[in-house]
Amino acid sequence: MNFTTKIPIHKYQNTISYESKILLLGSCFAENISNKFQYFKFQNTTNPFGIIFNPVSLEKLIRRAVENNYFNENDVFYHNDLWHCFEVHSELSNPDKNSFLNSLNELIDATQMQLNNATHTIITLGTSWVYRSIETNEIVANCHKVPQKQFTKELLSIAQIEESLHNIVSLFYSVNPNCNLIFTISPVRHIKDGFIENQQSKAHLVSALHAILSRNVAKTTYFPAYEIMLDELRDYRFYANDLLHPSDLALQYIWEIFVNTSFSTSSIELMAAVEAVQKNKSHRSFHPNSEKHQQFLVKTVNKIKALQQLIPHLNFDSED
């Protein structure tokens, strides 16, 4: 007896391994996946400019990094005791303007390097709904709690999204033609826009993205996280308490499918060894000074050394 519909997913040809350099960009779902990469000690960087939900704002930041288009005083503003930039997330806001600009431009340099060196980039699209500044007529990535009367809200058309995605792909391959682009659509429901409006938003993303993928651009593929959540996990028990975000169980389920379809066999085997070490490190003994626990610690250190022989960049000192 089968209680769910399984989505057929072909094994990705250009698989992810421990040698891969992974860049994740986009919505909060990118952060969820990044946490998994961190736990298993892959080389990854996530959202240097913070969470970005819409494709137009993603395109702007990627273009800045590719073209070395640094931020200047015209790109920042002061509000509620902090300097902000409409192109980046509020977590980067700063009470000092010069420090803020310096940090943003350092991120431009770092992101350009990551774009140049990435073997795999995972781009997660969150929404088609955007806010446009009335003063500048520019779409913003974050409103930074500026009064809503200063913005208009609009739904990006399929054509607008398709143009941004085309530009994103072109920009990537202009600096790194060997990078593998993996697109996905966030399974998070944006109900603050409205139930019907959320479905409109996702539908526009799906239509535009598959129009791009239908062009058979080399090294560009799609992972159906949104469809897995909708069709394989169509039950509220797979949502967090807010009934909007996937639960930990759902995230683990989606992650396991992603691993089995997108990772090399050798890396999957190494992940099991890394997880064993992570579980050992999280173990808290009732008798930390006992001989048995000291032997346990020595075995754990030996496991780490053996893994580092195979994967030199592994670092188990950092907290995950």
* Domain identity same for 35 and 156: yes
Domains contained in the chain, number: 2
Where the chain has pLDDT below 70, the residues are 1, 3, 287-288, 318-320
User: Could you tell me the CATH number of the domain that includes residue 185?
Assistant: 3.40.50.1110
Structural domain includes residue 173:
yes
CA pair distance 308, 270, nearest whole angstrom: 11
What was the pLDDT predicted at 261?
A: 95
* Domain identity same for 230 and 305: no
What was the pLDDT predicted at 210?
A: 95
pTM above 0.95, yes or no: no
Structural domain includes residue 8:
no
* Domain identity same for 195 and 134: yes
Residue where a domain terminates, one of 218, 236, 263: 263
What was the pLDDT predicted at 10?
A: 86
Structural domain includes residue 12:
no
What was the pLDDT predicted at 48?
A: 96
* Domain identity same for 171 and 285: no
The residue behind tokens 């806010």 is 131
* Domain identity same for 142 and 55: yes
* Domain identity same for 278 and 171: no
* Domain identity same for 258 and 286: no
Structural domain includes residue 225:
yes
What was the pLDDT predicted at 101?
A: 98
CA pair distance 270, 202, nearest whole angstrom: 36
* Domain identity same for 156 and 35: yes
* Domain identity same for 231 and 269: no
Range of the domain at 232: 21-263
Structural domain includes residue 7:
no
What was the pLDDT predicted at 218?
A: 76
Structural domain includes residue 227:
yes
Greatest CA separation for the chain: 69
* Domain identity same for 185 and 296: no
Residue where a domain terminates, one of 242, 263, 284: 263
Instruction: Return the C-alpha torsion angle 187, 193, 196, 202, nearest 10.
Output: -40
What was the pLDDT predicted at 320?
A: 57
DSSP labels, 123-157: EEE--SEEEEETTT--EES--TT--GGGEEEEEPP
What was the pLDDT predicted at 3?
A: 67
* Domain identity same for 151 and 223: yes
* Domain identity same for 208 and 294: no
Structural domain includes residue 135:
yes
CA pair distance 138, 86, nearest whole angstrom: 9
Structural domain includes residue 1:
no
